[in-house]
Structure 1
Amino acid sequence: MGRFVILLAVLMMLQSVLSIVQVKNYQRFIKKITTEQAGSDYDFYTEVAKGRLLRTIVAVVVDKEGKVIQCYCCSGLTIFAKFKEDPAYQGVHLAEFYSKNNQGTQVSKIEEALSKIYSRKLEAVT
């Protein structure tokens, strides 16, 4: 019983340390992107799309019309995952993902997150 308690305590400490590392990596990434885009007319949004087991975090830089300038994705076990730029979404309007998601067609987790960002952008306007 004593070994189980020690193992449990070690696992809890490890989880805490890994969570701190994850938060620091996230903060470093956000700071890098916001510094790069400082003074521009672009907006920066982040969104999380949750799956059954894994999550996908999407960070996107869009212009005033809602066209994607840069898209970064972090998926998998987020403790070990890093943000990677995904050029496949550059130049696409967020409205396309929103309409695709509302039509009931199957969308990826990244597209789901981009649809949520557009929805949030609409709420800010109205």
Structure 2
Amino acid sequence: MDSNNCVATTSITVSATPAPEYTVSSTDILCSDTPDSGSITINVTNANGNSLAYSIDGGTTFSNSPVFTGLTAGNYDVVVEYTLGSSAACTTVPQTITIAGAEPNNGDCDINDALYLYN
């Protein structure tokens, strides 16, 4: 109420921004001699008009790139967040992705096997 006994009311609608929608694809390690060849790609299907940052360590560190390469076998906790300047506006619940390691290929060899050469 002001000094003239007037009262004004107004309505304000505050809408929550929905979390970003995304899928994750990963590449397992195929050869045991390249133990750091796994990768994770985060594919955002709806950023709701916001800029994004990506994490594979549960949100401890973030990257502007949705592609992570050179990964070893193990579990990675993927998080996507909207960003407003340097502070996070909305962060997703971590999604755990497992990169599988390559199984060693152990063959059998007998010392009495013959060696054949062809020209």
TM-score interval, smaller chain: under 0.3
Bigger helix fraction: 1
Compare relative contact order (CA 8 Å, sep 6+) and give the higher one, 1 or 2.
2
